[in-house]
A and B are shown apart, each in its own frame.
Chain A
Amino acid sequence: MLTQQKSSVFDWLNRHFLSCPFKAHFGIDCPGCGLQRSVLALLKGNLPESFRFYPATIPLIILIIFTVIHLKVDFKFGAQVIKLVFTGIAVIILINYIYKIYNHLLIN
């Protein structure tokens, strides 16, 4: 029963993605395309799949959780860590997008 409910929830999510307007008009992925599929894969517990769809998802979620904790607890080097991880995520997104362009993965 539980697995059935879970799968129905995932199906529902799968059918109700916010579609990227850029992709809808021009057929090319934007730098954020894959994020929702990736989050869904993560919810299913499929880490490699999530990484394949969008490598920045896992660090991004970790960063968001860390920021919430930091705003409550106020770590000494929290702001520094957030800056570094954030810049790293931006670099990952850029590299991922350039990789997609070069490997003709923009059209799915």
Chain B
Amino acid sequence: MSDEQGTPQENPIEPIKNDIPAVEPLQTPPVTPPPFQQPPPFGQFGNGMGQQNLPNATAALVLGIIAIPACCFYGIFGLIFGIIAWVLGAGDVNKYKLNPAFYTESSYKNAKAGKICGMVATILSILTIVFFVLVIVGAITNPEMYDNFLKGMK
């Protein structure tokens, strides 16, 4: 500190002369500073505190699970929830693959699970809706057969 305070008067002249010496310290230090300079980027983005959860992982998981009871109540809600969970989960999986070091692995697993739950719920809802459509079409085109079908089931 005392040296720096003493030198400011000489500084206006020095920068021109110091250009050459200033390059050498940069070339030699790389042998020792890397341990100090490299770890921060890894510490920030790779290992610990800087990692984030994927933004939609939890939402995808929860929606994917809610989709099953929703599918059972009204059919169409299950389809909506399932597709939303699928899209959110797939988007987060892609995000993680683009930048794996930036997000936590557990949230990646959650996003993947949400995606698969969404897929399963979507398939179930589509099956349900197809069955509904078949029954409705059958009831409209062939009322007698539909009546017989119902009576037969009773």
Interface residues of chain A, those whose CB is within 8 Å of chain B, are 18, 20-22, 26-28, 30-33, 35, 56, 60, 63-64, 67, 71, 74, 78-80, 82-83, 86-87, 89-90, 93-94, 104, 106-107
Contacts and interface: CB of A to CB of B under 8 A. Distances in A.
A90 B124 contact: yes
Contacts, number: 87
For A27, A90, A94, the residue with the greatest tally of chain B CB atoms inside 10 Å of its CB is A90
A22 B120 contact: no
Contacts of B75: 22, 30
A21 B65 CA distance: 22
Interface SS majority for chain B: helix
Interface of B: 58, 61-62, 64-65, 68-69, 71-75, 106, 109-110, 112-113, 116-117, 120-121, 123-124, 127-128, 131-132, 135-136, 139, 150, 152-154
Nearest to A39: B69
Nearest to B64: A86
Contacts of A78: 109-110
B54 to A, nearest CB: 12
A7 to B, nearest CB: 26
B72 A104 contact: no
